[in-house]
Amino acid sequence: MASKNNIGEMTTAEVAEALGNGVDVVVLPVGAMEQHGPHGLIGTDSFLAQVVAEKVAVKLGALLAPLMPYGLSSSHMNFKGTMSLSPEAFTLFSRDVLTSLIHHGFRKIVIVNGNEPNYYPLIMVARSLREETGVLITLSNWYSALQECWKDLPGVKGTEKAEWKWPYFMAHGGLLETAGSMAYKQGLVRLDLAATYGSERREAFSNPVVSLPSRIDEVTQKGSYGDPRGATPELGRIWTDLAAERIVDKLRAAWDTAAKKP
């Protein structure tokens, strides 16, 4: 395969050559454009989906589809700069993108998602397209790849952060997202404006038993919660690297299992 792997930076001849050489896996990053508090970047969810998807594509020897930068962000519309799609528009758009990739011959599609509300329409589209075409479409919320191991992460293990709850670590505009944004591009995040806020209201609105759709300003007036103050670019690089590794490991296990009869 050519050294280029981003479809948007390739010619049609190069994509055809890659497919002809047996590259039938494509990674699709999906994000959002929504505020992340006074310090965080509006493009956080898109930038981090892109960063992790790039790492996953390299590890798989796959092609990388261009980022889908807009998602379901209506709960953030009271904060300037947020741009949101309706669920109907998002569902139709994502289905068309996936159908195009299937049309060209990709047999495994890996969606790396950076915005939690996107997950629900995406999983429905993935299921219906698999039933229609047989193509394996997997969906990963990149941050969830760290949920089982986050207390052992560098920068967490052996510190007071290991006493946090998961919702506080992966909070909207919190430590995980802020560090990832700093790794994406330095000099953009405004840590001097960082605010801290507990995750208790978020946990009350969203937990394994009850889900109460709410606006982010019903969770926190600042638009973010958690504690991003310890974020560094190096931690962001380490954590997104590990997330990509874990996604690839789980992907291969899922593919291997799907290839065998129960």
Q: Is the pLDDT of residue 1 over 60?
A: no
Residue 262 belongs to a domain: no
pLDDT digits (tens, 9 = 90+) for 160-208: 999 999 999 999 999 999 999 999 999 999 999 999 999 999 999 999 9
Residue 80 region by backbone torsions, left for phi larger than 0, else alpha for psi between -120 and 50, else beta: beta
Residue 80 belongs to a domain with what CATH number? 3.40.50.10310
Residue 134 belongs to a domain: yes
Residue 7 belongs to a domain: no
pLDDT digits (tens, 9 = 90+) for 225-256: 999 999 999 999 999 999 999 999 999 999 99
- SS3 (DSSP) at 90: helix
| Beta strand residue intervals within 50-208, DSSP E | 63-64, 108-113, 136-141
Residue 97 belongs to a domain: yes
Q: Which strand (E) or helix (H) includes residue 50?
A: helix 44-60
Domain span including residue 119: 18-145+153-248
Mean pLDDT of the chain: 97
- Identity at 122, one-letter amino acid code: L
Residue 115 belongs to a domain: yes
Residue 13 belongs to a domain: no
Residue 80 belongs to a domain: yes
Q: Which two tokens stand for residue 89?
A: 């528009």
Domain count, the chain: 1
DSSP state of 30: E
Question: pTM of the prediction?
Answer: 0.96
Q: Which two tokens stand for residue 250?
A: 């789980």
Is residue 2 very low, low, confident or very high in pLDDT (cuts 50, 70, 90)?
Answer: very low
Residue 256 belongs to a domain: no
